[in-house]
Chain A
Amino acid sequence: MLETALSGSRRYYTLVAALLFFILVGASMYLMQLKYGLGYTTGLGRDVSWGFYIAQLTYLVGVAASAVMVVLPYYLHDYKAFGRITILGEFLAVPAVLMCLLFVIVDLGRPDRLFNIILYPTPNSVLFWDMIVLNVYLLLNIVIGWTVLESERNEVAPPKWVIPLILLSIPWAPSIHTVTAFLYAGLPGRGYWLTAIMAPRFLSSAFAAGPSLLILLALLVRKYTKFDPGREQIQSLAKIVTYAILINVFFFFCEVFTVFYSQIPEHMLHFQYLFQGIDGKARLVPWMWFAIVGMSTAALLMVSPKIRENETTLALTCGLIIITTYIDKGLGLMTGGFVPNPLERVVEYWPTIPEALISLGVYSLGFLILTVLYKVAVSVKEEIKA
C-alpha cells in the first residue's frame, strides 16, 4: 500500500518538500543543541527546567489518545458511521505518538544514553511507564491501522487476530494520557501539579482538542481529495467535542475553587502568577486569560446546534478549542508548575527561536508522516469507490 504515497499531485509533492525543508532546519538547530548543550538553544534553566519540548509532549499525548473517540463508538457500540473514519483517527495517533517520543528525546541532555531507560528498568519512575505505554500505543495503532486498511483494500473482513488488539487499544488510549498526567501529579514540591484532577483534566482537554483536530483534518481531506469522510461523521465528532470541552471547563473551575477557597499559598501562588503576575512578572497573563475565556466561549458556542451544524463556524470553533487547550496545557501547565520555584522566587521562562525551530522540525516530521499515512488511507478509499 505504501506505493500509493509515492505518486501524487503537484500539491502533494510541494507539501512534502516544504515539510522536508523545516525538518532540515530543525535538525541543524538540534545539532547545535547537541554540541553546545540545552542552555545554548533553549530558554530553560535551573528554575524552569522543563519547557516548550515537554509541553508539546503533554499536548500531543492527548491528540494521540483521542483516536479512541472514533475507535470506541465503532467497535464497542457498533456505530457504523465511524467505520469510514477510524483509520483517520489511528493514522493521526501514529505521528502524534512519534512526535511525543521525539520531543522527549530532544529534551534529553544525553540522548546518547537514551537506552539506559531500558538497560536499567525502574518501575518506580513514571517516566519508565510513560515510555512503555507510548511505545505500545504506537505499535498498536500502526498494526491495527495498517491491517484494517489492507483488508478494506482487498475487500475482505479484517483478520481475527486484530480484534483483540483493537479492544486493547481502547483502554490503552486513556492510559497513555493518565500516565503522562502522573508524571506531574505526584511530585511533592509542585503545588500547581499536585492535584488529583490532573489526569481527568488531561483527558477532557484531549478529547476536546483531538477530535477538533480530526474535524479539521476531515474537512481538509474532503476539500482536497475525492474521499468524503462524511457529514454525519463530522457532526458526531462535533458532539464529542462539545461534551469534552464543557467537562474540561468544568474541571478547570473545580481546580480554581479548591485552590482559592482553601487559600493555601503553595497552590495559589502558581495561579496568581499565571493569571495576575507576581512582582510585575506577568509574561503569561494575557495568554492564560485568552485561553480560559476563549475555551469557555468555545464551549458555549459548541452547545448551539446552529453553530455546530454549520461547517464553517464549526471549523472556526474547533480551531479556537485547539489553540486555547494548547495554551492551557502547553505553555501554562509547564511554566505554571515551575513558577514560582520551590524557594518561592519568580524566574520566568520563554521559549527561544532555536527552541521553536527544533519543535517546528519535530512537528514537520510528524506532519510528514501524517501526510504520507493519510495519502495511503485516502488512496485506498478512492480506489475502493472507483
Chain B
Amino acid sequence: MGMDRREFIKIAGLSTLFGLGAKSAWELLRPGQVEAALTAGAQPLAAKRWAMVVDMRKLDDATAQRCIEVCHQIHNVPDFSKPVNPKDGVSPEEQIRWQVKWIWTDPYHNAFPGAHQEVMSDRVHHMNFLLLCNHCDNPPCVRVCPTQATFRRADGVVMMDMHRCIGCRYCMAGCPFSARSFNWRDPRPYIKDTYPDYPTREPGMVEKCDFCAKRLAKGQLPACVVESRGALIFGDLTDDKSEVRQTLKQNFTIRRKAHLGTNPQVYYIV
C-alpha cells in the first residue's frame, strides 16, 4: 500500500467530515483498490470445525509455560503479580481472585475432576495439563449470554464481543471449565509490554481464549500451537485429511467433562 494507516485514517476522517463515507474517500484516492487491499496478503485459515489435540507426551512443562506466555503477551492479558508500577502491587489473595487467564496448566485431578484414579501412573500424576477454552460444540456460555456478546462462529470458534458484554458474568457461572475471566480491575497497570495488535481491556467485561481468531484471519496458526513445536495440533475436524483428524483416529484421546454434553473440541492424548 502506498499510504500508511495514520495517513489513511486522517484522509478518511476528514472526508467523513465533509459528508463522504470512508470507502468513497478511498475510492477517490485509490480507485478500485479497497477490495483488493482487503483480500491482499495471506489467505485466512478456514475450517468447518476447528479442533485441537494436546499431545501430553510431547508437551513438557517449559514448553507449556512458553505457550502461556506468548498467548498472554499477544492478547495483553494482565499479570496481577507483576505490576508495571510497584505501587500498584496487590495481595496474593487478590492476585488469585482477579486473575485473568486464557490458557494455563493444572494437574490431572483438577483438569479432569471425577476421573480420578485410586492409583495412577506417576507420569500422569505429576503431569501439568495445558488447559484453555474448549470451544464446545454445544457451549453453555453461549446459551446463557443475554446479549449474544459471546457467540459460536460457524467454524466452531466461541468468540467474545467485548464491546457488547454487559458484565453480568452469567457465562462464568455457565462454563464448567473455569475458562472465562472477568476484568475485576483495570488490567492496564499490570501489562508490562502492551502488544499493539490486540486491544487492552477496561474493567467490567468477560474475556477468554478465541483460538487466535485474529491470527487465523491472517492465515496464521494460533500462537500456542506455533510455540508448542508439535505438541498442539490444530485443524479442521471435518476434513478427513487434516492432521488433527488423523491424530484423533490413531490415538485414544480424552476430553474434559465430556459427560456434561457440551462436546468440548480440545482433545488430550495422555
Q: A residues near B, CB below 8 A?
A: 36-40, 43-47, 49-50, 104, 107-111, 113-114, 116-117, 119-120, 122, 124-128, 131, 183-184, 187-190, 265-266, 337-338, 341-345, 347
With CB as the reference atom, state the residue of chain A lying closest to B166. A113
A46/B205 contact (C-beta < 8 A), A37-B185, A341-B178 known: no
In the complex, what residues of A have CB within 8 A of residue B111's CB? 343
A109/B173 contact (C-beta < 8 A), A46-B182, A125-B144, A189-B257 known: no
The answer on a CB contact under 8 Å between A108 and B184 is no
In the complex, what residues of B have CB within 8 A of residue A110's CB? 165-167, 204-205
Give 8 nearest A-B pairs by CB, closest first.
A109-B167, A189-B176, A39-B184, A45-B97, A109-B204, A37-B203, A127-B146, A125-B146
The answer on a CB contact under 8 Å between A125 and B145 is yes
Residue among B114, B146, B177, B203 with most chain A CB within 10 A: B146
In the complex, what residues of A have CB within 8 A of residue B166's CB? 108-111, 113-114, 116-117
Q: Which residues of chain B from 69 to 120 have a CB within 8 Å of any chain A CB?
A: 94, 96-100, 106, 109-111, 113-114
In the complex, what residues of B have CB within 8 A of residue A184's CB? 173
The answer on a CB contact under 8 Å between B98 and A45 is yes
| CA–CA, A69 and B184, complex, Å | 40
CB distance from A202 to the nearest CB of B (A): 17
A37/B173 contact (C-beta < 8 A), A45-B96, A265-B114, A343-B106 known: no
B175 interfacial by beta-carbon distance below 8 Å: yes
The answer on a CB contact under 8 Å between A116 and B164 is yes
In the complex, what residues of B have CB within 8 A of residue A37's CB? 183-186, 203-204
The answer on a CB contact under 8 Å between A343 and B178 is yes
User: A36-B186, A46-B97, A109-B168 provided; 7 other pairs, C-beta below 8 A?
Assistant: A46-B182, A107-B169, A108-B204, A110-B205, A116-B146, A125-B146, A343-B110
Q: B residues near A, CB below 8 A?
A: 94, 96-100, 106, 109-111, 113-114, 140, 143-149, 164-170, 172-178, 181-186, 203-206, 257, 260-262
The answer on a CB contact under 8 Å between B147 and A122 is yes
CB distance from A31 to the nearest CB of B (A): 14
The answer on a CB contact under 8 Å between A116 and B149 is yes
The answer on a CB contact under 8 Å between B186 and A46 is no
| CA–CA, A19 and B9, complex, Å | 53
In the complex, what residues of A have CB within 8 A of residue B168's CB? 104, 107-109, 127
CB distance from B63 to the nearest CB of A (A): 22
In the complex, what residues of B have CB within 8 A of residue A120's CB? 147-148, 164
The answer on a CB contact under 8 Å between B185 and A113 is no
| CA–CA, A107 and B186, complex, Å | 17
In the complex, what residues of A have CB within 8 A of residue B260's CB? 188-189
In the complex, what residues of A have CB within 8 A of residue B175's CB? 189, 342
In the complex, what residues of A have CB within 8 A of residue B184's CB? 37-40, 44-46
In the complex, what residues of A have CB within 8 A of residue B204's CB? 37-38, 108-110
| CA–CA, A342 and B145, complex, Å | 19
**Sample of 5 A–B contacts (CB below 8 Å):** A39-B185, A117-B147, A117-B166, A124-B144, A189-B175
The answer on a CB contact under 8 Å between B98 and A189 is no
| CA–CA, A322 and B183, complex, Å | 35
| CA–CA, A116 and B164, complex, Å | 7
CB distance from B177 to the nearest CB of A (A): 6
In the complex, what residues of A have CB within 8 A of residue B109's CB? 344
| CA–CA, A299 and B257, complex, Å | 40
Residue among B113, B173, B206, B261 with most chain A CB within 10 A: B173
Residue among B113, B149, B168, B175 with most chain A CB within 10 A: B168
With CB as the reference atom, state the residue of chain B lying closest to A343. B110
In the complex, what residues of A have CB within 8 A of residue B186's CB? 36-37
With CB as the reference atom, state the residue of chain B lying closest to A129. B146
CB distance from A56 to the nearest CB of B (A): 15
With CB as the reference atom, state the residue of chain B lying closest to A109. B167
A125/B140 contact (C-beta < 8 A), A113-B164, A343-B111 known: no
The answer on a CB contact under 8 Å between B165 and A125 is no
CB distance from A243 to the nearest CB of B (A): 32
Give the contacting residue for A44; candidates B97, B147, B177, B178; CB below 8 A. B97
The answer on a CB contact under 8 Å between B113 and A343 is yes
With CB as the reference atom, state the residue of chain B lying closest to A344. B113
| CA–CA, A49 and B204, complex, Å | 12
A344/B203 contact (C-beta < 8 A), A50-B173, A189-B174 known: no
A266/B140 contact (C-beta < 8 A), A36-B185, A109-B166, A347-B96 known: no
A50/B164 contact (C-beta < 8 A), A37-B204, A187-B140, A343-B111 known: no
CB distance from B226 to the nearest CB of A (A): 27
In the complex, what residues of B have CB within 8 A of residue A343's CB? 106, 110-111, 113, 177-178
In the complex, what residues of B have CB within 8 A of residue A189's CB? 140, 174-177, 257, 260
With CB as the reference atom, state the residue of chain A lying closest to B168. A108
In the complex, what residues of B have CB within 8 A of residue A125's CB? 143-146, 170
| CA–CA, A40 and B182, complex, Å | 13
| CA–CA, A178 and B261, complex, Å | 24
CB distance from B117 to the nearest CB of A (A): 14
In the complex, what residues of A have CB within 8 A of residue B100's CB? 46
CB distance from A80 to the nearest CB of B (A): 43
The answer on a CB contact under 8 Å between A46 and B178 is yes
| CA–CA, A44 and B173, complex, Å | 13
The answer on a CB contact under 8 Å between B149 and A46 is no
The answer on a CB contact under 8 Å between B172 and A49 is yes
| CA–CA, A360 and B149, complex, Å | 31
In the complex, what residues of B have CB within 8 A of residue A266's CB? 113-114
With CB as the reference atom, state the residue of chain A lying closest to B95. A45
In the complex, what residues of B have CB within 8 A of residue A44's CB? 97, 184
The answer on a CB contact under 8 Å between A39 and B170 is no
